[in-house]
Amino acid sequence: MTSLQQTTHDVERTLAPARVRDVLAAYLALTKPRIIELLLVTTVPPMFLAAGGVPDLRLVLITLLAGGLAAASANVFNCVLDRDIDELMRRTRRRPLPRHQVQTPQAVVFGVLLAVASTAVFLGAVNWLSAVLALGANAFYVFVYTMWLKRRYSQNIVWGGIAGCFPPVIGWTAVTGELAWAPWVLFAVVFFWTPPHTWALAIRYRADYAAAGVPMLPVVRPAPQVTIRILVYTVVTVAVSLALWPIAQTGWVYPLAAAVLGAAFTVEAVRLHLRARSGLLDASLRPMRLFHWSNSYLALLFIAAAVDPLLR
């Protein structure tokens, strides 16, 4: 072997692992791991609530695996269907499909395999009800939100957000095998929480959504109108969260946490509205403060729901 051939061989051996890592990273990015994290955070605490304490940890891990695969599948299909608008938005143009790191047919196959794997795990190790709920949530996210609502209606996220409300119900049914009022209250919490969370992000990236032709509410309505709706949905979220106290007959930890967290969430929404009324626009409104706080609010609220039965 000549020195040139040896050098070429060494370079190829060095680049091969890097290419493999890049491909794996691209496929992982299609699943939107940060979104999956939040969905799983709303899955586990209802399992503690349903069990009245610590649930079977093996069941928890299996439910997380199946739920994570289901959410990953839905996110992959979302990336496939939104690849044209993702290419137009600064926030999303570096996703794998706009950058052609993954081809569309391969992404579709990946999404199908994830859905099949999720359903198999649910049916084989959890129960059929949780499997049906996960499939229903995925179908709603892909066919109702992504394919129909998102590009047509300013209220797209209000109804499209239903898909993200299912994890609490799935977590509950994984433990009990049946439905009850308590998980539906948590479903409603996520439902009313989703618009303030998403509209805050949409204010920050309003120009992106406008360029892509997506009629998010901040694109079609002035900031004060958007922020007053954010405030209304925030107040309703807090009120619904407190309803879990009598319905699930929780101890004092959950309602105390819900009240304190809800007050902080509401104050942040009021501040955002006041900034909007003062004439500030887009990034100057600092909407990401509310966006990030909304993530913390939901996570801490659900953690409180999990801790409460442990202290009773």
Per-residue pLDDT at 34: 84
Per-residue pLDDT at 18: 52
Same domain? For 170 and 185 the reply is no
Same domain? For 186 and 276 the reply is yes
Work out the burial of residue 246: count CB atoms within 10 Å of its CB; fewer than 13 is exposed, 13-18 middle, 19 or more buried: exposed
Instruction: For residue 253, give the CATH number of its domain.
Output: 1.20.120
- Identify the CA nearest to 119 among candidates 128, 107, 110, 106: 128
- Of the three residues 143, 160, 175, the one that is the final residue of a domain is 175
**pTM for this entry:** 0.91
The pLDDT confidence band at residue 17, using thresholds 50, 70 and 90, is low
Same domain? For 35 and 170 the reply is yes
Which residue type is seen at 109?
V
Which residues span the domain enclosing 37?
A: 27-175
Q: What is the pLDDT of residues 146-195, one digit of tens each?
A: 999 999 999 999 999 999 999 999 999 999 999 999 999 999 999 999 99
Same domain? For 148 and 47 the reply is yes
Q: How many structural domains compose the chain?
A: 2
- Three-state secondary structure string covering 206-244: HHHHHHHCCCCHHHHCCHHHHHHHHHHHHHHHHHHHHHH
Choice between 5 and 166, residue whose per-residue pLDDT is larger = 166
Same domain? For 39 and 152 the reply is yes
Q: Computed from CA positions of residues 130, 175, 64, 93, in that sequence, does the dihedral angle turn out positive or negative?
A: positive
Instruction: Measure the CA–CA gap between 240 and 75, rounded to whole angstroms.
Output: 28
Same domain? For 214 and 140 the reply is no
Instruction: Determine, yes or no, domain membership for 120.
Output: yes
Per-residue pLDDT at 21: 84
Same domain? For 155 and 33 the reply is yes
Instruction: Measure the CA–CA gap between 238 and 196, rounded to whole angstroms.
Output: 12
- Of the three residues 175, 197, 226, the one that is the final residue of a domain is 175
Instruction: Determine, yes or no, domain membership for 11.
Output: no
% of the chain residues with pLDDT over 90: 82
Same domain? For 271 and 158 the reply is no
Same domain? For 124 and 59 the reply is yes
Q: At what angle do helices 57-81 and 128-139 cross, to 10 degrees?
A: 20
Q: What is the pLDDT of residues 26-73, one digit of tens each?
A: 999 999 998 888 888 999 999 999 999 999 999 999 999 999 999 999
Q: What is the pLDDT of residues 240-285, one digit of tens each?
A: 999 999 999 999 999 999 999 999 999 999 999 999 998 877 667 8
